Each structure stands twice: as C-alpha cells, then as structure tokens.
Structure 1
C-alpha cells in the first residue's frame, strides 16, 4: 500500500511539472506573438501618421507624436480691448516634426527650457526638413505667395500735395518737408535692409485679433475661411495700388492677451490656447500667407512670452509682433495704466529672432513693434534690425485721419528705425483711409494692419 501511494505521488509530481512546463511554453509563445504584433502596429502607426500628416494640411508643421494638448476653455474675460478674459490652455502641447521630418523636432536643451506651456523642441515641416548644417539655400526660399496685381495695374506716381491724404485731411507728414521719397518707398529715410525678409520686395496686409472675441479685431468676427477670403480681397487692393510691391496676406493673431484680472500667476496676461494658434498657423500656410504672433505682456517679461512661442516661431511662415502699451509694472493694470517698454528689451527679442534664424537655418524674420503713443517705447535708439531680422515700427490707434497721419509721422517718420507700419480700424476710424491714400504716406507703410 505504501509503495502504491509513493508511486501515485511521483506520478502526480511529474504531471504537475509537465503542466507547468506546458504553461510556460504557452506564455513564451504569447509573449513573442505580442512583441511581433506591437512592432507591426507601431510601424503601421508611424506610416499612418506620416501619411495623414502629409495629406491633412501642408500648412501644419507643428503636430507632434508626443504632444498632449487641449484647446483650453473660453469664457468671458476682462480684457483692456475687449472686456473679456481669454480662454486658458490648461495642458501641455508639443510642437514636433511631422511624419519623417526631424529637423525642428527639438533637443534636450529645448526640452529643458520649454516652449509654450512647457513645450520643448521645435516644429518642423516638409518644406523645412533636414538639419541646420544642411542645405543653406533653404533659407532663401520664401514661405509665402504675394497676391498678384491685376493686369494693367499702374505703378504709383508722384502726386501734388493737394492730392495726397495729408492734403485732403491735414496732419503733419514728411511730405511737408523733403520730397525725395520715390512713390511707395517703404524703407525710412537713411535706413538699409541687409536681410532677405518678407519686406524686401513685398508689403504685408494683416488682419488683427483673436478668435476668442469679436471685440478685439476681425479675426474674432468671421469664421476662419471667410476671414481669409476677406483678407485676400483687402490684400489684392494693395497689390493693385502698388503693383511693384505686391502684398502678402498676413494673419496677426494675439498669442497672449493682457487682461485686468491678475490670473493665477498675478501677471495680468492669458495665453491663447495652443490649438487655436496651431489652427491659424495651418490656415496661413494653406493659403501661402504669413502668421504674426502678437504678444501683450501685462506684468510678464517680454522674453518669457516670446520663448513660450518658440515652437511656432521656428516655422518658416511665422513672425513676431509686440503690443507695447500693455507692458505694465508692479501696481499697474493693463488697460487702466498705459504701459511702457525699453528699446533694449525689444532689442533682446530682435537678437533672439536673429539667433533663431541662424540656429534653425530658416528664412529671415520680421519683428513688428506696435506703438500707441509717444513715450511708450523708450530708448528707441537701442532698437536695431539685423542681417536676419527686419523691424517695423507700427503706428497704432484709431480716430480721425488727420490725427492718425500726424501720429504716423511722429512715431515712424521722425523716429526712424527701418520700416513703418500703420493700423486701420474698420469701425472707429473716420474716414477709413483707402489703400491709395495709405500708400501716399512717406515712407509708405510696409505693414498695414486692419482691426
């Protein structure tokens, strides 16, 4: 009996060992199968991502495989221009290369600095691939297409003083003094432009605002595609008025909105959601247009706001604008107190853009400096364009034609840097100057913004 019991025990042990061995073999087979499936799915996913990125919109070079973004929540805000509080993006979003493009996918240094909402890295696109040590001829490519003038459009001609906007509406202007400006010339007196930026041969016509509010410009009044159609129509009018300098449609999107609410960080500024910026970046590129990202500072530092936008500024068609009147100090509130900024701070942003062009081997950039009144930008002599960056001083503000023409002469003509810009308000200006009247100013505005 004992012998039989011992045999049964040995039999059961051997059977258990065989079962265990069989289970281990099954587990091993399943593991190998799972690994094979994972590799297949990963490669298929990469191929699918590349195909979908390449076909969805050639305008978007900012989609990243590791991005995790949300569009934020929009709501009523207390902004100095709109009385609204811009939607806040409450999650991170990445701006990496698209598909197989790795030129601007970022590096460890970019990731440590972080871009918009802690983003690292850059945003590449199929047009701007390779590395910064690659084909230098890429830098000369123009990532935009001007609206061609209509057939038979006549070049600008010299006009008598009575036939200019100054003659009709009054206001001081350079036309009251020397008359050595060729018609339509955009460079201010004595300035040079060693760059290959967008203003060398073209004028920019921009629509300004944010899609989060209909009170801050036309971008918030119309659906994107309808807005773009209107922008092209307005741009075409400038190409017709000055066919020697065909105009380029440009979206000027407010990327950080100053507000009267201090916000969680006490900086009185709210970032536009990443997905909205990405949306208008796609729209601009799809239509061969340019994108100007406008920063309103509140109490934040200019370079802090600019660096947040680096993933977008690395894109070939994206440039920078600075709304200087919203840069306030401790104890001040934007929209209640008129802000000020030092020219040396603006020059840091110019140098930053210059270095970005060199580092990324991208086309030359433009920095637009909005000015609402004299004294807002102090030390203008410290602002200087570079071989890679153009600078346009923009005369901002609405009102009567005579006052606006005089302001342009004071803020641009009498304090020359390189190029001038002029903002027009469709509803608040009286009258709204026509493209022909705008181009009679001396120097002729190189950037014309509409709000």
Structure 2
C-alpha cells in the first residue's frame, strides 16, 4: 500500500514539474518572439530615412530621351578626345551615372537625379560665379543652366545647387597657423536660406590649407544638420608643413577623405538626416592619392570631380584618367565659363563616359 502511494505521489510531482517547465518555456518563447518583433521593428525604422528636400527642374514637354539624341556610334563609344588614342568602348552605358561595377546602397540623390552647381565665394569675383552676381540673379541663371540638363537627359532631372566655399585657403598662416579662414556665418546662413527658398541644394566647399579634411567638415556641423546641405573637398589647397596654398599645389590622401566620409555617415544616422553627398575635386594626378581607400557608405554618396580648365580635348581625356579609370562611385565635371575653350554644351558633357552625376560651373 505504501509502495502504491509513493508511486502515485511521484507521478503527481512529475506532472506538476512538466507543466511548470512547459509554462516557463512558453513564457520565455513568447518573450523571445516579442523581442524579435521589436528588433525587426527597430531595424525597419532605421532603414526608413527622411525624404530629401529639393525640387528638380521638370524636363520640357518636347525633351527627348538622351539615347534618342545620340548616334549609334556615340551610344557605343566615348568621344574620340576622351579616349585619347585608347580603346573607345564605353565602360558605363549612356544615361547611367553610377559607374559600372560600383554600388550605391544609399537612398541618395545621385541614383536618379543630376546636380548642376554654381561655385564660388560671395565676396570674391576671382573665385567663381557666386562672387560675380547678386543672389537672386545668380539663382535665375543657375536655374536656366539646370533646366538645360533636365532637357538634355529627362531620365535624370537636374537639381540647382549652390557650391559655396566656406573655408578659404590663404597665403598667410592666420591666427590659427593653418593657412585658411572661414566665410562668415552670416554669408553661409544667407546662401542656406537662398537654397531653401528655391528648393535647391547647398554644397559647402572646404579648401583645407594645413588643416585636416575631418576637422574642416566638423566645422560645418551647424549647417550639416540641414537636410539639403552637402560637402565638397577642394584637394589642391591642402598643403604640408613648409608649403603655402596657392603657391604649392597640394593633395589629400584617400584615407583622410575617408575619415570625413565616415564622420558624415555617422552624423547622418545620429541626426536622423537624409543621405548626403561628398564631392571630391581633383585638378592634377597628385591632388588625390590612394583613391582606393575612399569607400562610399550606406549614408554617403561620393563623386570624383575633374576640376581643370582649358581646351575640351584635354579636359575630356583627363576626366577619363581621373574619374573613369580611377573610379570610386560617381563622376563630376567642372566647367569654367571664362576659361574653357570652348564652353561645352550639356549634350556634349553628357557624352562623357561615365555620364557625370554632378556638373559645376565656376
């Protein structure tokens, strides 16, 4: 009898333990499922980025697709002058701005749009068109030039962009000993307001002097928090100890540019901003070294901009050398109204391989 009682008691205890174990397991599973759902929700929130505040200029009703305005040879081959005696086969199909073989993991502008920028400093007539015109007249001319690109390639409507020099290299070391001074906050604020009022973009250009690219970009934090503000780096004005900007042609190492790229990328996430662009100007072979170290991120698009002036054959061949053959992600091309011979038309610019995603005018 005692033996039967003990067996029944053990069976009852086993049933209770099993039930508790199942309850605990179910509760834990439910908690784990809830955590997974929350994590998935958070990940979804991270991927959803703020929209870009801008308004591209709508192509005219009679604008034709770029491919319809070009001959079969132009579609298959780059211009003779760009090839400079080498193979003319295109790397990147006409109309594609992302360089073939490269990726863009951002939700940035350069995938679907083209930037047309006016470059300069408002207090200098020698540094670009921004110093040659009053703000309202400047915007009117910029929009006219931008419209020409929207019409030349309707698949990439163009966005008017102001490229404002914000740190200016100088021959005097100045109080900080770094051979640069900043454009006044009042001037930067004025052009930030001008861009916003015109649904345009503002690109803040840094000339470095003896400072680092990272620190110069950090100086712009106040304006980088604006969703329509981007960054340009003028590499030729970055000089070493014993050198002087404007006397010695400078350079920036790709690893230093990458520090700025990663900083801006983190800044975008921390401040819940739309993805940004970093434009890197290059004038000579020496101006940007170790380009392979420049890596676009999930939050930052990078464009290499050929920044030279002169005859169109030289400019096109150097665009091939600096942008196409040493590709990072996107290409940019600068035009000098007063120095180029001749000034290329939008249709001529868009024959380049790859098609420039950014065209800036000085």
Instruction: Give the structure 2 partner of residue 445 of structure 1.
Output: 356
Instruction: Give the structure 1 partner of residue 338 of structure 2.
Output: 427
CA distance in 2, matches of 1:401, 1:160: 22
CA distance in 2, matches of 1:375, 1:397: 13
Is 1:166 equivalent to 2:79 in the alignment?
Answer: yes
Question: Of 53, 56, 59, which residue of structure 2 is paired with 1:143?
Answer: 53
Instruction: Give the structure 1 partner of residue 324 of structure 2.
Output: 413
CA distance in 2, matches of 1:285, 1:398: 30
SS of the residue corresponding to residue 66 of structure 2 reads coil
Relative to 1, partners in 2 of residues 1:280 and 1:227: Cα closer, same or farther, differing over 3 Å?
Answer: same
The answer to whether the 8 A contact 2:149-2:157 is kept is yes
Instruction: Give the structure 2 partner of residue 155 of structure 1.
Output: 65
CA distance in 2, matches of 1:153, 1:180: 26
Instruction: Give the structure 2 partner of residue 296 of structure 1.
Output: 207
Instruction: Give the structure 2 partner of residue 211 of structure 1.
Output: 122
Instruction: Give the structure 2 partner of residue 275 of structure 1.
Output: 186
Question: Of 347, 353, 369, which residue of structure 1 is paired with 2:280?
Answer: 369
Q: Deviations over 1:327-346 (max 9, x none)?
A: 00100001110101110000
Relative to 1, partners in 2 of residues 1:291 and 1:174: Cα closer, same or farther, differing over 3 Å?
Answer: farther
Q: TM-score, normalised by structure 2?
A: 0.84
CA distance in 1, matches of 2:86, 2:196: 38
Question: Of 153, 159, 163, which residue of structure 2 is paired with 1:252?
Answer: 163
CA distance in 1, matches of 2:321, 2:236: 17
The alignment's C-alpha RMSD in Å is 2.1
Q: Deviations over 1:407-428 (max 9, x none)?
A: 1000000001100000000010
User: Offset at 1:162?
Assistant: 7.1
The answer to whether the 8 A contact 1:252-1:294 is kept is yes
Instruction: Give the structure 2 partner of residue 400 of structure 1.
Output: 311
The answer to whether the 8 A contact 1:212-1:220 is kept is yes
Instruction: Give the structure 1 partner of residue 230 of structure 2.
Output: 319
User: Offset at 1:175?
Assistant: 9.0
The answer to whether the 8 A contact 2:104-2:298 is kept is yes
CA distance in 2, matches of 1:394, 1:174: 22
CA distance in 1, matches of 2:315, 2:289: 21
Instruction: Give the structure 1 partner of residue 247 of structure 2.
Output: 336
Q: Deviations over 1:390-423 (max 9, x none)?
A: 0000000110000000110000000011000000
CA distance in 2, matches of 1:173, 1:138: 45
Structure 2 unmatched ranges of 5 or more: 1-41
Q: TM-score, normalised by structure 1?
A: 0.68
User: Offset at 1:138?
Assistant: 7.2
SS of the residue corresponding to residue 360 of structure 2 reads strand
TM alignment of 1:127-142, pairs within 5 A: 139-142=49-52
User: Offset at 1:356?
Assistant: 0.7
Matched positions, count: 318
Q: Deviations over 1:3-45 (max 9, x none)?
A: xxxxxxxxxxxxxxxxxxxxxxxxxxxxxxxxxxxxxxxxxxx
The answer to whether the 8 A contact 2:91-2:353 is kept is no
Instruction: Give the structure 2 partner of residue 192 of structure 1.
Output: 103
